[in-house]
Copies of this chain bind each other. A is one copy, B any other.
Amino acid sequence: MSFNVYLSGEIHTDWREEIRRGAESAGLDVVFTAPVTDHPASDAAGDHLGKPDDNFWRDHQSAKVNAIRTRTLIEQSDMVVVRFGDQYKQWNAAFDAGYAAALGKPYVTLHDEDIVHPLKEVDAEAQAWCTTTDQVVETLRYVLKA
């Protein structure tokens, strides 16, 4: 059994790499995908089309280019991991969770206990809440190999 897993959310820590390594160690047949995680590159995703003077439209243009990638990868995935870190608003992560929920695509969340309350709506539609990348890997191992 093989799986496509999209890794959504926080881009400032190496949680994606931890999950990739863990899955490899466990011998899991998983293809991981992700948004562009180079922050400046992501912010400039649309600049080659002409960089708008107005910040709102520059962001708008880049976000729409990024969505070509992210929307396609979420739709093609079998499962999504949605990570909320310590910093930043991460509304895009919650947006991806809502998008996955409406598609009926299973997702798990990955976040610390101190933000359980503000994330309750996001967790309510999730298949599991993990606090460590090891738990994500173990969840995948169970789903694919148990």
Contacts and interface: CB of A to CB of B under 8 A. Distances in A.
Q: How many copies does the complex hold?
A: 8
A70 to B, nearest CB: 8
B139 A65 contact: yes
Given A118-B89, A122-B91, A146 B36 contact: yes
A101 to B, nearest CB: 6
7 shortest interchain CB distances as A-B pairs: A98-B98, A102-B102, A63-B124, A94-B94, A95-B98, A59-B120, A98-B99
Interface of A: 1, 3, 33, 36, 38, 41-42, 45-46, 48-49, 52-57, 59-73, 78-79, 84, 88-104, 106, 108, 113, 115-131, 135, 138-139, 142-144, 146
